[in-house]
Structure 1
Amino acid sequence: MRPVSQRLGLTLGLVMAGASGLVPFESHADSPPGVMFLLDNHESMQDYPEYLPEAFTPGYEPPATPATRPGDRGGTGSGGLALNTGCDDPALVAAMSWFDKDSPDPAKNGSVIYDSDADLASPFFDPNRFYHSRGRRINFVVEESPATLYPDFESMASSSNTLTACYSSVGWDFNDYPYMATQIMDDCVRCLTTRGWWRGPIVTDALKPYQGPNQKPGEAPLPPEAFRKWVVSGRVLNVRPPKFVIARKALKDAIAAASNVRMGVATFGKDHGWYDPPELLASVRPSCDKSSPNIDEVALDRPLLMKAVNKTEFRNNERSTGEALFGLGGYFSSQGVDGKWANWFNQPINPGWGWPGCCSGGTSDNPYTGESGQNWGGASDEWIKPKSVDPATGYYRPGQPWEGSGTDRSVCSESQANAVIVVTGGRPHSDNSVPITRMMDILVADGARHADGSLLTFDPSNPQTNPNPGGVNYCHLFGSTQQACDYTDYNWPTGLATTNKNFMDDVAFFLSHADLRGDMPGNQSVRTFVVGYGDSSPMLQSISLAGKGQFFRADQPGELRDALLNALGEVSAGSTP
């Protein structure tokens, strides 16, 4: 875990030292901060922090005898291509040396369950059971066969018997049944018994339609590890759990340890057309009357917050950090009191629906699917979407969240410090459906300034040829360039203006500079902190700086928990980055 101030060195130090017009964010002891945790639920959070290895020694694998049977080494059957399978190849053994089921060290033998939360339907993970996996992640029930991880992300299928686990993993069909007692089956049972893991066949193109996964339009090609079958004991998974298990546990640990802070939990929203409102799993609690002069622990209900974390479904196809931040800005606003958010963002907003600018506020067509961008952000309720349920499928889409009324408000007093702490495994994408032009118009009119004291500018005209569109982009302060935050690969929709094609940092800047409430004196803004789990993309760092927060890089599980607690400490202290 490395705070951004320690990573930038002299460059950022000089920028901040020369800043003018900065006003320290004050927090008072009699008004505890309000913090919303925004947990990344993108499907890549299912992945292991490090893929299971494809390492092999050339020529090591003994030839199949005979080579024509599906269950022999080198054979192709209903289970896939049995190439470089087993657990004896020296290169593979070395690559798996981080795990040893016979080690006396629990950190290496995986005997301690990583997350034994009784609220979960299954332990994550049972040391005495076996799980189906691919090289990049545990088999997800709707995408890989045989299934292990269920769609609720709270329960799993597993086996206590090596023969059953191996037979299911190989995936024999009726025609291959006579070959089940063959080389790779014998290897699988032996490997699970002696080592606790077995690397199995590769799913071939002919088998992908029913064993998965399948390539999705508009997304990067799947890595080779996605097609390699494994069987692993729960011990292996306890030593190196998937990202979502680590993030979920770290957030619950932080909630358990936090003091004198109101907390809520949200995730990125489901596909809702263009703008996807965040899903509010738990509103900021406790209520205002239970927060002063001291937090009422019973009303805070930490177990409820932890259960909300457990309810996160890590299957979102977009990493919509900016859209979620925009929606949480609405949650912290005084919409319920004076309609402020809707007054800003009711359609048609002026100027335009919101740049980028094709065809009255649209964007370019999707280069991967051909989807038209002409009607970008054009729905009458685009920025204040209500929740909805598809009558045909029952599919639920969360709507724009608002604070409760009375004492259930998100902001209790004008002295309250407010923040969103983002926990994410990568840079945002498919994340630009926000009314960028309107937000910048509000801030420019208010005379908002960058951290170096210069005035914010924004010119939405002729974005494809405009040499100075303005807006917010701090990537050049993080050992990179502003153009690095213009990334468009596997990322749509995007803007058209060089140096501002992605708007997540613009949203964070808006939340940290705009007065979100008309019912209180002062400037009721929201800061944004970002914890990059295994990722320190320039955009993530630009978001945190624009949001008057701080960026933390966490590579290990303990670092992730510490980063969350440090971010909470910064919110409570009210210090500037």
Structure 2
Amino acid sequence: MHNDWGRRVFFSRRPLGQRLGLTVGVVAAGVSGLLSPPVQAQEVPPGIVFLLDNSEAMQNYPQFLPEAFTPGYYPTPTNPARGDLGGEGSAGLAINTGCSDPALVSAMSWFDKNSTDPAKNGSIVYDSDSDLKSPFFEPNRFYFSRGRRLAWNVMEGPYTINGSDFEGPLNSYGDTLSACYGSVGWNTSDYPYGGATGNSPLMNECMTCLATKGWWRGPIVTPNTQATSPGQAGPVKELDEPPLPPEAFRKWVLSGRVLNVRPPKFVVARKALKDVISSVTNVRLGVATFGEDHGWFDPPLMHEKLRPTCDQSYPTFNDAALNRPRLRQAVNEVNFRNNERSIGEALFGLGGYFSSQLADNRWGSWFQQPVNPGDFGWPGCCNGGTYDNPYTGQPGAFWGVHAQEWLKSPYSDPYTGKFLPGQPWEGTGYDKSVCNASQSNNIIVVSAGAPRSDNSVPITKMMDILVANGARHPNGSLLTFNAINPETNPNVGGVNYCDLFGTTREACDYTSYNWPTGLGVGNKNFMDDVAFFLSHTDLRNDMGGSQTVRTFVVGYGDSSPMLQSIALAGRGGFYRADQPDTLRNAILFSIGQTRGGSCSAP
């Protein structure tokens, strides 16, 4: 069975994006609409790398659990005991707990364990992929949570997610007593249960709520370390991290049914991407995420390079060689723990992957240090640096000046012993990234927010190449760039289209909790510059034509102007999706656009 996406795009009375429930943004043909596809769909399968957001924020729920409460509803005893309602014990302050407050019940009305509708009662496991080590989620088990996400033992306790493994097994309990007792800290002096004295009021409340509602809002962590035990406290805000929301400190116990109705973002995005991989054909697919800390520039992590190989892709496409089970497994292997959302750095590294570096040193000829004598490619002070980190004091003078900054080889960290894979390159045989001069090369970014800590790229060198080649903005004007004295230069140039998306260019100079940044007003963040470079520069010398890479962005619950600027600069498209179905459809729609509006499914 084949779906003629191209025909649907151009002959439906209502645009396909709208019928799929998408918010469709501006793409590279201009600010008015989608790129016009070619008369015929290309025969050479496009190459598409999925760049999946693996930042820690992907652990969050799409909507935080409610802090709603009815004023005056909760008891306020004068001298509450540690296990009483309103008391403070090792698990935190028991204020506004329970499941009966009318405001809280109303705010949780999206879930009903007694409903006959699986979409509301959560009886169907959201992601039962047998490749995972644990179902996400078992309906009749209970999980520890905070108001913003499942409890993660790296940051908070008691925990459900153990360490860095987001495949499972998850920490859960099958009975209300164990779940409630565990949630309050295994401290019988604070929270007695059974015996001569009976259960404490807080324990009784918890067990009643889990039995009747399937959820319980528990104590809130307090800074009073003498009361809240260290194992029950957290999370702790890092110096260079924005303030944590109040929901981060509220404890909950949730049945798997609740989590199946509203899973965390990473569970939704992971399932959507696997569903897409299972459905499309006649495309070469790869999976990447943002890379771990390598110093300044953090190369992306390639979980799976493009497949099938060139000889299995054209002129006959070997569908079995796409190896969907391995691609889905690569998605399952993603660990959502990055403290940065480095879209621009990942795009830059993927540009190296699509380049002809191994054939003719294309990338190395451009980005071997010093990429520009005296400034290492930065529009800042101090031979390429920037200001010191205002939160931690980390010096900025040596920003991006390592001899192999943009060509990082694999290495093991001498302090931690951890292996870091370095910059990914294509293979030397049939596993090349670009098989044919007619191949469409694309990156589809799935991100739940604007980039953060994402500016370690050789901006000056990229702009020098573009300016020398006469690159033009979508409106036809020539690209300009001048990195001299950026703090006093009223027009440094470069790429910034945020003023087309309901804000100003200066607003996209966001610097709070986003160090390091450039210094030129109107272009302090460089992620859209990277997308522009990839979409306007021939990345290969070893074949004809112009081998550029387009960037599509799917904003999962987010329409940040910078995300939209990246998509426009990348000659792709921006699509916002707020629900699981529209997230999957947005990715499918992006795939259709990589081949001129045509996408087929088996």
TM-score relative to the length of structure 2 = 0.91
Structure 1 segments, 4+ long, off by >4 Å, are 1-9, 11-17, 22-28, 177-180
Q: Secondary structure at the match of 1:277?
A: coil
* 1:554 aligns with one of 563, 566, 577: 577
* 1:367 aligns with one of 369, 390, 394: 390
> Which amino acid is the alignment partner of residue 236 of structure 2?
N
> Which amino acid is the alignment partner of residue 198 of structure 1?
W
Alignment of 1:376-525 (within 5 A): 376-525=399-548
> Which amino acid is the alignment partner of residue 32 of structure 1?
P
Partner of 2:159: 147
Partner of 2:128: 116
Q: Secondary structure at the match of 2:134?
A: coil
Q: Which runs of 5+ in 1 are unaligned?
A: none
1:220 aligns with 2:220: no
* 1:202 aligns with one of 220, 226, 231: 220
Partner of 2:206: 188
Shift of 1:511: 0.2
Shift of 1:63: 3.9
* 2:182 aligns with one of 157, 168, 183: 168
Aligned counterparts of 2:415 and 2:55: Cα–Cα separation in 1: 25
Partner of 1:338: 360
Aligned counterparts of 2:453 and 2:73: Cα–Cα separation in 1: 44
Partner of 1:526: 549
Stretch of structure 1 that moved more, 341-350 or 209-218? 209-218
Q: Secondary structure at the match of 2:203?
A: helix
Shift of 1:28: 5.8
Shift of 1:493: 0.5
Aligned counterparts of 1:8 and 1:271: Cα–Cα separation in 2: 32
Aligned counterparts of 1:570 and 1:546: Cα–Cα separation in 2: 16
Partner of 2:10: none
> Which amino acid is the alignment partner of residue 380 of structure 1?
A
Kindly indicate whether the alpha-carbon contact (under 8 Å) linking 1:27 and 1:417 is maintained by their aligned counterparts in 2.
no
1:255 aligns with 2:277: yes
Q: Secondary structure at the match of 1:407?
A: coil
Kindly indicate whether the alpha-carbon contact (under 8 Å) linking 1:480 and 1:538 is maintained by their aligned counterparts in 2.
yes
Shift of 1:12: 9.8
Kindly indicate whether the alpha-carbon contact (under 8 Å) linking 1:33 and 1:416 is maintained by their aligned counterparts in 2.
yes
- After superposition, the C-alpha distances for 1:194-219 in whole angstroms (9 at most, x for unaligned) are 00000000111123743211111111
* 2:50 aligns with one of 29, 32, 37: 37
Aligned counterparts of 1:525 and 1:61: Cα–Cα separation in 2: 61
Identity of aligned residues (%): 64
Shift of 1:68: 3.0
The 1:462/1:394 distance shift into structure 2, 3 A limit, reads same
- After superposition, the C-alpha distances for 1:213-258 in whole angstroms (9 at most, x for unaligned) are 1111111111110000000000000000000000000000111111
Aligned counterparts of 1:429 and 1:296: Cα–Cα separation in 2: 39
Partner of 1:567: 590
The 1:264/1:299 distance shift into structure 2, 3 A limit, reads same
Aligned counterparts of 2:467 and 2:21: Cα–Cα separation in 1: 27
Kindly indicate whether the alpha-carbon contact (under 8 Å) linking 1:101 and 1:109 is maintained by their aligned counterparts in 2.
yes
Kindly indicate whether the alpha-carbon contact (under 8 Å) linking 2:99 and 2:215 is maintained by their aligned counterparts in 1.
yes
- After superposition, the C-alpha distances for 1:254-282 in whole angstroms (9 at most, x for unaligned) are 11111210000000000111000000000
Partner of 1:298: 320
Aligned counterparts of 1:5 and 1:182: Cα–Cα separation in 2: 50
Q: Secondary structure at the match of 2:286?
A: strand
Kindly indicate whether the alpha-carbon contact (under 8 Å) linking 2:355 and 2:539 is maintained by their aligned counterparts in 1.
yes
Partner of 1:54: 67
> Which amino acid is the alignment partner of residue 484 of structure 1?
A
Shift of 1:478: 1.2
> Which amino acid is the alignment partner of residue 422 of structure 1?
V
Aligned counterparts of 2:431 and 2:39: Cα–Cα separation in 1: 23
> Which amino acid is the alignment partner of residue 342 of structure 1?
G
Kindly indicate whether the alpha-carbon contact (under 8 Å) linking 1:16 and 1:452 is maintained by their aligned counterparts in 2.
no
Shift of 1:24: 7.3
Kindly indicate whether the alpha-carbon contact (under 8 Å) linking 1:366 and 1:493 is maintained by their aligned counterparts in 2.
yes
> Which amino acid is the alignment partner of residue 301 of structure 1?
N
Q: Secondary structure at the match of 2:173?
A: coil
> Which amino acid is the alignment partner of residue 322 of structure 2?
L
Kindly indicate whether the alpha-carbon contact (under 8 Å) linking 1:28 and 1:415 is maintained by their aligned counterparts in 2.
no
Aligned counterparts of 1:556 and 1:160: Cα–Cα separation in 2: 29
Aligned counterparts of 1:378 and 1:490: Cα–Cα separation in 2: 22
> Which amino acid is the alignment partner of residue 97 of structure 1?
S
Shift of 1:15: 5.0
Aligned counterparts of 1:328 and 1:70: Cα–Cα separation in 2: 55
Aligned counterparts of 1:13 and 1:339: Cα–Cα separation in 2: 31
Partner of 1:272: 294
Aligned counterparts of 1:12 and 1:417: Cα–Cα separation in 2: 15
The 1:12/1:400 distance shift into structure 2, 3 A limit, reads closer
Shift of 1:23: 10
TM-score relative to the length of structure 1 = 0.95
> Which amino acid is the alignment partner of residue 465 of structure 2?
I
Aligned counterparts of 1:106 and 1:15: Cα–Cα separation in 2: 42
Shift of 1:395: 1.9
- Structure with a larger share of its residues in helix: 1
Shift of 1:120: 0.4
The 1:57/1:115 distance shift into structure 2, 3 A limit, reads same
The 1:61/1:4 distance shift into structure 2, 3 A limit, reads closer
Aligned counterparts of 2:245 and 2:340: Cα–Cα separation in 1: 18
The 1:497/1:450 distance shift into structure 2, 3 A limit, reads same
Partner of 2:338: 316
Kindly indicate whether the alpha-carbon contact (under 8 Å) linking 1:101 and 1:196 is maintained by their aligned counterparts in 2.
yes
* Residue correspondences, number: 570
The 1:439/1:24 distance shift into structure 2, 3 A limit, reads farther
Shift of 1:481: 1.1
Alignment of 1:128-147 (within 5 A): 128-147=140-159
Aligned counterparts of 1:462 and 1:159: Cα–Cα separation in 2: 60
Shift of 1:508: 0.1
Kindly indicate whether the alpha-carbon contact (under 8 Å) linking 1:269 and 1:398 is maintained by their aligned counterparts in 2.
no
Aligned counterparts of 1:361 and 1:440: Cα–Cα separation in 2: 15
Shift of 1:79: 1.1
Stretch of structure 1 that moved more, 54-63 or 498-507? 54-63
Aligned counterparts of 1:497 and 1:99: Cα–Cα separation in 2: 49
Aligned counterparts of 1:345 and 1:365: Cα–Cα separation in 2: 25
Aligned counterparts of 1:71 and 1:299: Cα–Cα separation in 2: 60
Shift of 1:358: 1.2
Kindly indicate whether the alpha-carbon contact (under 8 Å) linking 2:30 and 2:474 is maintained by their aligned counterparts in 1.
no
Aligned counterparts of 2:428 and 2:29: Cα–Cα separation in 1: 43
Aligned counterparts of 2:291 and 2:421: Cα–Cα separation in 1: 7
Aligned counterparts of 1:462 and 1:67: Cα–Cα separation in 2: 64
- After superposition, the C-alpha distances for 1:341-398 in whole angstroms (9 at most, x for unaligned) are 0110011112531223111011111111111000010000000111222244332323
Partner of 1:82: 94
> Which amino acid is the alignment partner of residue 144 of structure 1?
E
Aligned counterparts of 1:422 and 1:293: Cα–Cα separation in 2: 28
> Which amino acid is the alignment partner of residue 340 of structure 1?
R
Aligned counterparts of 2:358 and 2:270: Cα–Cα separation in 1: 31
The 1:26/1:36 distance shift into structure 2, 3 A limit, reads farther
Aligned counterparts of 1:26 and 1:399: Cα–Cα separation in 2: 41
Shift of 1:13: 9.2
